[in-house]
Structure 1
Amino acid sequence: MRVHFLGIGGSGASAAAAIAETQGFEVTGCDLEPNNEFTTQFKPSQLFKGHAPKHIKNIDILAVTPAIYSLDPDNPELVAAKKHRIPIMTWQEFLGKYLTKDKFVIAVAGTHGKTTTTTMIASMLEDGGLDPTVVIGAIVPKWRANYKVGKSKYFVVEADEYNDNFLSLHTDISVVTNIEYDHPEYFKDFKAYQESFDKFKSKSKKIIDQPNPKLINFALAIPGEFNILNASLVYQVGLLLKINPEKIKESLSNYTGISRRFEYLGDFKGAKIYTDFGHHPTEIKTTMEAAREKFPKSRIWLIFEPHMFTRTKAFFNDFVKIFREIPIDKIIITDIYQSREADKGLVTSKQLANAAGKPYIAKDKLNNYLEKSLKENDIVFFMGAGDMDKIAKKFIS
């Protein structure tokens, strides 16, 4: 069966495509920029730049990124597939219908911490000899990929709530890290958001959603109270799967993190440069508190890229409050990453910066400013879900 992934450059779609190929599907994909850190496993002949009807010739399924429906409903491949009556589904629906069929599915959802928690569970299963297949939204250093193909029945999935994507899964164990309103571009209010999670839980055979920090009576390698809570959920999954408690502790103790989550990139003239995916006010707060815990005497910088206009507008007052309260020394707010939205004048980074009493610096001016301002032993976090990782890596290069 031939499957074409529209948006294969995404962190989730690329993982699903890679696993589909190992399960015998013939895979191709396209994106505006298809060659990135998530698609290195594919041959050049499998990846197409841009979108054109010829890309879907002789395919059996078109698996799309959900954002395409709102961002580009007249996409030529989408239109052509409808014209030729080719089955269309999101890559998450394809994952739920085909890739996880007959598997023991462990899905991790939640507003914050699901990527880390998913990776912790996957690592624990590996260390416990259960060899899972895994789909995750970040590069795991020891795999050098955002997926893993295992030989057991276990399939671990990072389950995204946007677009109700996680409702495509049929789960044996559902882990919910926490629930706090997010994705205002899709969910009209917290009630709608909560209802989506309720539906997700109702489809699961077993739910683990009550952190118990008392279970983590040993040291973790990653900082932050929130990671203790995440680890306690993982511990409960391990006990449910009858993994030896000592093996669970060993696995959690040795877990060192994933890309773009409190990730150390290198030094610039003696300043330590980190990158982090956080883009919700709560994520900024908890990550910066963890940074202060780890570096109690250092001068800490945050260069923050707001993510999407609707989110920035919806959480405007929360951002302002957080920026005024977090225990760090320097905060810079840069341009909003528009992602799947068009700029309709809803809000600007300058407005956010002014309200918070912090400087706004455009992305193309960041490097020059930081080169002049950073000092030896400074700690610098480039934070955001859009361009910040690339900007940080380019800065230290």
Structure 2
Amino acid sequence: MHDIMKAEEIQLENLKYIYFIGIGGIGMSALARWFVHNGKMVAGYDKTQTPLTQNLEKEGIKLSYEDNVDKIPEEIRTYPDETLVILTPAVPKSHSELLFFQRNGYTILKRAAVLGMLTRSFNTIAVAGTHGKTTTSTMIAHILKFGGINCTAFLGGISANFNSNLLINTKDSRKDVWAVVEADEFDRSFLHLSPTITVITSTDADHLDIYGEKKELEKSFAEFASQTKDEGLLYTQENISTSVKEAKPKNVKAYDYRALRGYGVPNLPVYSVAIKPDEEHENACRFDYIDNTLEIPTRISSLQLFMPGYHNVENMSVAIAVALKVGVNIDDIRDAVRTFRGVKRRFEYIFRSKQVVYIDDYAHHPTEISALLSSVKHLYPEKKITAIFQPHLFSRTRDFQEEFAQSLSLENENDELIMLNIYPARELPIEGITSQVVLDKVKAKNKTLLEDNALLDYLEQRIDNDEIEVLITLGAGDIDRFVKPIHTLLENKHHYYKQNGRRKSDRGF
């Protein structure tokens, strides 16, 4: 632990300067924006410049991309007693800036501790899960804002509606403010939170480099559930571990939720049924929501969601349940669901024409990948799918080789899988663990491994030959840096045909 002080010992009003080590992370950047909004001078370091860090610089935050003490702003180097240093768990102990702050008596806290400190005075809705938490927390925040609930939100993704990962409450008083927080299980970060309403979307095995085995992961989720405040609420996806559900305090009400392919289980507290494609919009679906937890059981029929996929209906189901408990009325919920535009890199449509679709998604766990590809195949059953996957972390690739291979085994023989090399993030290579190991296990006729620098040329040739129908990029690493170049390739082809006409033999664009 790098922490020098406990978060509860810190008085924010005594701080003038906030410095972030690893400011480019999605959770770190939300905190940075919150401190700027609250009048603090904010600066930080990250090893890589990204569109996110560029936006932070435009917002007035001083950034450096070099681990160099001399790059730290002079005010921060001069006034340690008025400075809070916040770091991400991925920062190595040998980081020179971190060593400088440790040697000179600065107050240093991990991001999760600061998030817990900031939300302690709010009514907090915390959404946890090995997958689904970013989309679900963003859905909740959107519905609350739409429904006039005074809320702030620290999100793990960029809301397409607000173009931000931070929402700010509209009043100075925090008495009646709700905070929506994405609760991260990595490094047991979520144990800094004590929510009023807890949502757990999934407890599939993940982060085994931290937990060792799934049982330890479930123990951590159970401890998180047990921290729900007295008289609070706990919502859990029906299929998660019973031990997690039973960990709640006795005076906390617990409800299961689920999206059902059939027409419902009458004794399930919260569920959605009648899930079907929208007849007028290919990228939307319709469903009915049923809530048996209210004084009068409630059904909201024919909700329209512009975020396809069975799993997204499930995420929206619990978001609606939370919103109803907080006080959003049914009419506002219906309109909020219809106007929700998703999260950047969560089933995000990048390019669409009558013949070609390009979707980008953050999916990096086998369960997420299966849900994504299943949804895409459901939407475009007659189209060829070309999926480009970049594995994230050597340890995750090692731990889930078979599961990745199964989830990536595309159904139709015309479909194609392109794999990139593993994105290491915070890790060093593990001997014998490569993308090729997974690719060899994939049951697909058309599959290939490409170096990053060969991807665009490979795709350009496929696009020129009209071999792309539904294209998907997926992964949690830096695969998103290809999104704009791929979009440009597709746009160029589209404009070529608009200017030159199409031959009868042309299939694309």
| Among 166, 175, 178, the residue aligned to 1:147 | 166
Is 1:213 aligned with 2:300? Answer: no
Tell me how far apart the structure 1 counterparts of residues 354 and 374 of structure 2 sit (CA, whole Å): 25
What is the letter of the counterpart of residue 96 of structure 2? P
CA contact under 8 A between 2:462 and 2:468: conserved in structure 1? no
Tell me how far apart the structure 1 counterparts of residues 354 and 378 of structure 2 sit (CA, whole Å): 23
| Among 459, 463, 469, the residue aligned to 1:378 | 469
Provide closer, same or farther for how the CA distance between residues 326 and 111 of structure 1 changes in structure 2, counting only shifts above 3 A.
Answer: farther
| Among 14, 20, 23, the residue aligned to 2:29 | 14
What is the letter of the counterpart of residue 85 of structure 2? L
Provide closer, same or farther for how the CA distance between residues 20 and 346 of structure 1 changes in structure 2, counting only shifts above 3 A.
Answer: farther
CA contact under 8 A between 2:161 and 2:342: conserved in structure 1? no
Is 1:389 aligned with 2:488? Answer: no
Structure 1 stretches of at least 4 aligned residues deviating more than 6 Å after TM superposition: none
What is the letter of the counterpart of residue 213 of structure 1? S
What is the letter of the counterpart of residue 319 of structure 1? F
Tell me how far apart the structure 2 counterparts of residues 208 and 229 of structure 1 sit (CA, whole Å): 12
What is the letter of the counterpart of residue 18 of structure 1? R
Provide closer, same or farther for how the CA distance between residues 366 and 281 of structure 1 changes in structure 2, counting only shifts above 3 A.
Answer: same
CA contact under 8 A between 2:391 and 2:475: conserved in structure 1? yes
Percent identity over the alignment is 31
Mean Cα displacement is larger for which, 358-367 or 189-198?
358-367
Deviations 1:282-309 (A, max 9, x none): 1110001111111122111111111110
Mean Cα displacement is larger for which, 170-179 or 245-254?
245-254
Tell me how far apart the structure 1 counterparts of residues 169 and 411 of structure 2 sit (CA, whole Å): 41
| Among 200, 203, 211, the residue aligned to 1:179 | 203
Tell me how far apart the structure 2 counterparts of residues 107 and 93 of structure 1 sit (CA, whole Å): 14
Matched residue, 2:500: none
- Secondary structure of the corresponding residue to residue 204 of structure 1: coil
Q: How many residues align?
A: 393
Tell me how far apart the structure 1 counterparts of residues 151 and 54 of structure 2 sit (CA, whole Å): 21
How far 1:22 moved relative to its partner? 1.6
Tell me how far apart the structure 1 counterparts of residues 115 and 180 of structure 2 sit (CA, whole Å): 12
- Secondary structure of the corresponding residue to residue 324 of structure 1: coil
Provide closer, same or farther for how the CA distance between residues 196 and 316 of structure 1 changes in structure 2, counting only shifts above 3 A.
Answer: same
Task: Using structure 1 for the length normalisation, give the TM-score.
Answer: 0.93
What is the letter of the counterpart of residue 168 of structure 1? H
Matched residue, 1:65: 88
Tell me how far apart the structure 1 counterparts of residues 407 and 160 of structure 2 sit (CA, whole Å): 31
Tell me how far apart the structure 2 counterparts of residues 311 and 144 of structure 1 sit (CA, whole Å): 30
How far 1:267 moved relative to its partner? 5.6
- Compare CA radii of gyration and give the structure with the larger one: 2
Matched residue, 1:331: 417
Gaps of 5+ in 1: none
CA contact under 8 A between 2:320 and 2:333: conserved in structure 1? yes
CA contact under 8 A between 1:271 and 1:376: conserved in structure 2? no
Matched residue, 1:135: 154
How is 1:1-397 mapped onto 2 (pairs within 5 angstroms)?
1=15, 2-34=17-49, 36-38=51-53, 40-42=55-57, 43=59, 46-54=62-70, 55=72, 56-57=76-77, 58-59=79-80, 60-68=83-91, 72-97=92-117, 99-151=118-170, 153-205=177-229, 206-209=233-236, 210-211=256-257, 212-214=271-273, 216=289, 217-218=301-302, 219-266=304-351, 271-324=356-409, 326=411, 329-357=415-443, 358-374=447-463, 375=466, 378-397=469-488
Tell me how far apart the structure 2 counterparts of residues 136 and 159 of structure 1 sit (CA, whole Å): 9
- RMSD of aligned C-alpha atoms? 2.0
